Amino acid sequence: MAKLGLLVSPLLLSCFVVACSSTPDAVDESADELGAKFGGVVEGTDEACAVLRAANEASVDELDEGAALDSRAAKAIAAARAGEDGRAGTLDDQIFATLAELDAVPYVANTAFRKLRRHAAATGSYGCGVVDVQLLAFNDFHGNLKPPSGSSGKIVTGPNASVDFKEAGGAEYFASHIQKLRAENPNTLVVAAGDIIGATPLMSALFHDEPSIESMNAVGLDVATVGNHEFDEGPEELLRMQHGGCHPVDGCQDGDGFEGARFRYLSANVVSERTGKTLFPSTTVRNVRGAKVGFIGVTLEGTALVTSPTGTVGLSIKDEAETINALVPELQRRGVETIVVLIHEGGATTGLYSECVGVSGALFEIVNRLDAAIDVVVAGHTNAAHVCNLGGKLVTSAAAFGRLVTDIDLQIDARTGHVVAGEAKNVIATRDVPKDAAQTAIIAKYDALSAPLANKVVGTVTGDLLKSATTAVESPLGDLIADAQLEATRQNGAVAAFMNPGGVRADITFAPSPAGEAPGAVTYGEAFTVQPFGNTLTTLSVTGEQLKTMLEQQWSTSGGVEKVNLLQVASTVSYSWDPTKPLGSRVDGSTFKIAGRVVEPAATYRITVNAFLADGGDGFAILKSGIERVGGGLDLDALIGYFAAHAPVSPPAANRVTKL
């Protein structure tokens, strides 16, 4: 900042009128004469680190009285830390990452720097060295306040998944594990890689995911990137999740206001087409005992393909790696050398939950393109679980639904800002710990409000209906949902139905849920958890050739990596496919049948899909060409109607699609 030197300023003149208790820190002729900068403190040294720690951490009283700063300088430092809202401990709080940033604060100049240096040395409280920083990371929580059931509530721990597993998840247990790990290291930040909300069970979805945000506030989440499901209700609703306020239609049903997220959402690559600005901040920097940790948050570039079309209207989503790499120099200019990426994109592995075996997928292609300065990549989206060290970068993911917490330990040299050592492990959020009281209170409140609807029995089953494939291609629950959608739209001329596997969100189990219904009973809450998106059904006309193209679009490549997204089919559909054949030629047309008859390329067929697929979602672009569209009811209503008409429902045989 400009120094006043020998100029007679209004500030100096005022001292002739009113007695000044001390020389204002912004007026320091002797320091200018000596040519000193920052009071002789040199950027990047131990002294600089200590001065910045004092400026970032000391109270106004300590700065004013202990360090003997001019009171205006002390107040200005505190005001700068508090951010635009003027309140400490809120989302816009700032830290001083460099001496230059501190020097830009009004009333701070050479005198203030010398006083801060002396105070830091005298107290011994702001020394800098290697700081043990702990990051506790997770992803894809999806509002699972209550313990998830079936396969969604287990972590496989050995080679035999049927016996080698631990039950895990549930906000009460998840939070207890977070608090236990936090107690082991006070230098802890809790971070998330997206999809905290969206595609949530009824308890959260019924209240526009306000319960999930309240749960994360109670956990003490610090920073999160935006995932694709954060956009399920559109950007304006997501902004409400951050900033608070009641939903304009039916918000705050509990009678309380909604304060919004206390944690900071980031998304560097989601840009408003109207303003050209990012919807959320791109980065945030946190000071941990002098160690500066910079976070970059990015969202899945393909969000528009896997989210309701209205969810990202008016937004442009940029390439993840290019966005991240462009922000690295900006953080480094701020004196940040420890850089953590929170990315809502994932891959796949063949190993156990804390291993790094057989990695593949888009995430790892992105990691290969990242700047060498990146230290940690916390990932999500694919619900994978892994801990990898790739090219000096820790690359982690913690499954989904609050079943795992990734414990990342970084040794950071606060003087240089660099990570000198780092390791990570996935910790299972087992259910053998005491329940977190704050989470119990949140669950009890919303359970009471949602129970009359959630606990209503809508059908019965004779066995588990699993969302995961029991063969290489078919999911019993996915096939049953396709059957339900076909039955619900027969009056619209439908002869077949197809269901995207990503829309099947949970198992339906024979065993009683926590609600305590009888074995085999299916509650509305369970059915909602399976189909939470509120998709309407669409019956449309396509040619046999277009249907064949749709099936071929189940396989695609991105960045040289093959992606597979196998549709679940109604009982009227059958075909076989060969994984050794090239893309676009894998389905054997002679085996592709509807109602037992080979599909003819030139013939027209009426099929039913959900509105998401009908608009080309999940990469099935050919469905946008469908004509003679007729809207139907909700996907959830079709499923509930099927349960009512066919009780008890048995798991369908997985014999509709054959992998050669």
Residues 87 and 159 in one domain: no
The arithmetic mean of pLDDT across residues 529-536, rounded, is 94
Torsion angle (degrees, nearest 10) of CA 449, 452, 458, 461: 70
Q: What is the pLDDT of residue 4?
A: 29
Give 336's pLDDT tier (boundaries 50, 70, 90).
Answer: very high
Considering only 113-122, 560-569, 633-642, which range has the smallest mean pLDDT? 560-569
Exposure string of 468-492, with b = 16+ CB inside 10 Å and e = fewer, is ebeeebbbbbbbbbbbbbbbbbeeb
Q: What is the pLDDT of residue 36?
A: 67
Above 70 in pLDDT, residue 26?
no
Calpha distance 501→567 (Å, rounded) = 6
Calpha distance 94→116 (Å, rounded) = 19
Residues 234 and 177 in one domain: yes
Q: Is residue 22 part of a domain?
A: yes
Of 345, 342, 406, 405, the C-alpha closest to 381 is 345
Beta-bridge mates of residue 421: 411
Question: What percentage of the chain carries pLDDT values higher than 70?
Answer: 94
Above 50 in pLDDT, residue 16?
no
Total length of the chain: 660
Calpha distance 453→451 (Å, rounded) = 5
Considering only 351-360, 366-375, 461-470, which range has the smallest mean pLDDT? 461-470
Q: Which domain holds residue 358?
A: 130-437
Please say whether the beta carbons of 283 and 294 come within 8 A: yes
Q: Is residue 505 part of a domain?
A: yes
The arithmetic mean of pLDDT across residues 545-570, rounded, is 92
Please say whether the beta carbons of 11 and 24 come within 8 A: yes
Q: Is residue 588 part of a domain?
A: yes
User: Residue 514 is part of a domain; what is its CATH number?
Assistant: 3.90.780.10
Number of domains present in the structure of the chain: 3
Tell me the Cα Rg of the chain: 29
Above 90 in pLDDT, residue 204?
yes
Above 80 in pLDDT, residue 15?
no
Mean pLDDT of the chain: 92
Q: Is residue 442 part of a domain?
A: no
Q: What is the pLDDT of residue 515?
A: 72
Chosen domain end from 77, 101, 123: 123
Q: Is residue 295 part of a domain?
A: yes
Above 60 in pLDDT, residue 30?
no
User: Residue 195 is part of a domain; what is its CATH number?
Assistant: 3.60.21.10
Burial of 518 from C-beta contacts in 10 A (0-12 / 13-18 / 19+): exposed
Q: Is residue 448 part of a domain?
A: no
Residues 581 and 473 in one domain: yes
Question: What percentage of the chain carries pLDDT values higher than 90?
Answer: 85
Query: If you write DSSP's letter for every residue of 210-265 in order, what string do you get?
Result: HHHHHHHHHHT--EEE--GGGGTT-HHHHHHHHH----TTT--TTSS-----SSEE
Calpha distance 335→417 (Å, rounded) = 7
Query: If you write DSSP's letter for every residue of 452-472 in order, what string do you get?
Result: HHHT-EEEEBSS-B-SS-SSS
Residues 507 and 568 in one domain: yes
Task: For residue 373, give the amino acid letter.
Answer: A
Q: What is the pLDDT of residue 2?
A: 33
Q: Is residue 450 part of a domain?
A: no
Chosen domain end from 88, 104, 123: 123
Above 90 in pLDDT, residue 560?
no
CA-angle at 153, arms to 641 and 435, nearest 5°: 115
The arithmetic mean of pLDDT across residues 141-146, rounded, is 97
Chosen domain end from 92, 123, 154: 123
Distances (CA, A) of 250 to 255, 384, 504: 11, 35, 27
The arithmetic mean of pLDDT across residues 387-410, rounded, is 98
Above 80 in pLDDT, residue 236?
yes
Tokens of 560: 């040289």
Residues 277 and 391 in one domain: yes
Residues 601 and 638 in one domain: yes
Angle between helices 210-219 and 171-183 (to 10 degrees): 20
Name residue, tokens 């009171």: 71
Give 532's pLDDT tier (boundaries 50, 70, 90).
Answer: very high
Calpha distance 331→578 (Å, rounded) = 49
418 Ramachandran zone, left/alpha/beta (phi>0; psi -120 to 50)? beta
Residues 182 and 59 in one domain: no
Residues 231 and 351 in one domain: yes
Residues 431 and 505 in one domain: no
Q: For residue 343, give the 3-state DSSP assignment.
A: strand
Give 514's pLDDT tier (boundaries 50, 70, 90).
Answer: confident
Of 622, 619, 623, 626, the C-alpha closest to 305 is 619
Residues 220 and 302 in one domain: yes
**DSSP 8-state symbol, 652:** P
Give 473's pLDDT tier (boundaries 50, 70, 90).
Answer: confident
Q: For residue 365, give the 3-state DSSP assignment.
A: helix
Residues 248 and 369 in one domain: yes
Tell me the pLDDT tens digit for each residue of 69-99: 999 999 999 999 999 989 888 888 899 999 9
The arithmetic mean of pLDDT across residues 17-44, rounded, is 58
Residues 76 and 142 in one domain: no
Q: Residue 651, Cβ neighbours under 10 Å: how many?
A: 19
Of 28, 21, 22, the C-alpha closest to 6 is 28
